[in-house]
Amino acid sequence: MPRDAETGGTIVVGLDGSPASRQALRWACWEAELTRGRVLAMSVREDPDLMPGSEFALRSRSTWRDEDAVRAALRRDVGLVATTAPIDELVVTGEPADELLSAANEADLLVLGSKGPRGLSALPLGGVAAECIRRAVCPLVLVPAAPAR
């Protein structure tokens, strides 16, 4: 969605329930306030039929198979952010990188959380972030999790 002189654009932010993704949402809202844009807070429910991995891995990620649980986590995370920016919520089913990139095709910015502050020489990102970096057609911001206090 192109920007005009009166309003900012759309910022897509991926949420997966992690501290880093919540920090990314806070950053996206701050940016939206500055630019008079809007935020699309998006969670991707992974399709259990398409999830590779061991039974242990599938059980540990079972929350992300339940659409109601994903929707509740998204609502909770959005509710924790104090912002004046408009926030739309979206839960979709599919492969996370594909779905985030699809939503970002019409956006001005894609914002993702990274697992934590790392130097560029040690850039071990999660698979979703790495795939989004490779394929994004809009600017992308990686936001580290806030340091533990």
CATH number (domain holding residue 27): 3.40.50.620
What pLDDT was estimated at residue 122? 45
What values do phi and psi take at 41, rounded to 5?
Answer: -85, 120
Is residue 112 within 8 Å of 129, Cβ to Cβ? Answer: yes
For residue 51, tell me if it sits in a domain. Answer: yes
Q: What is the pLDDT of residues 4-50, one digit of tens each?
A: 445 689 999 999 988 999 999 999 999 999 999 999 999 998 776 65
Range of the domain at 20: 10-144
For residue 1, tell me if it sits in a domain. Answer: no
For residue 15, tell me if it sits in a domain. Answer: yes
Report the domain count for the chain: 1
What pLDDT was estimated at residue 4? 46
Mean pLDDT of 68-77: 92
For residue 5, tell me if it sits in a domain. Answer: no
For residue 2, tell me if it sits in a domain. Answer: no
Full-model pTM: 0.81
- Among candidates 133, 55, 78, which has minimal Cα distance to 70? 78
CA distances to 39, 43, 73 from 93, in Å: 19, 9, 15
What pLDDT was estimated at residue 127? 83
Helix (H) or strand (E) holding 43: strand 38-45
| pLDDT surpasses 60 at 69 | yes
Q: What is the pLDDT of residues 80-131, one digit of tens each?
A: 999 999 999 999 999 999 999 999 999 999 999 987 444 443 445 678 888 9
For residue 106, tell me if it sits in a domain. Answer: yes
**Per-residue confidence at 66, pLDDT binned at 50, 70, 90?**
confident
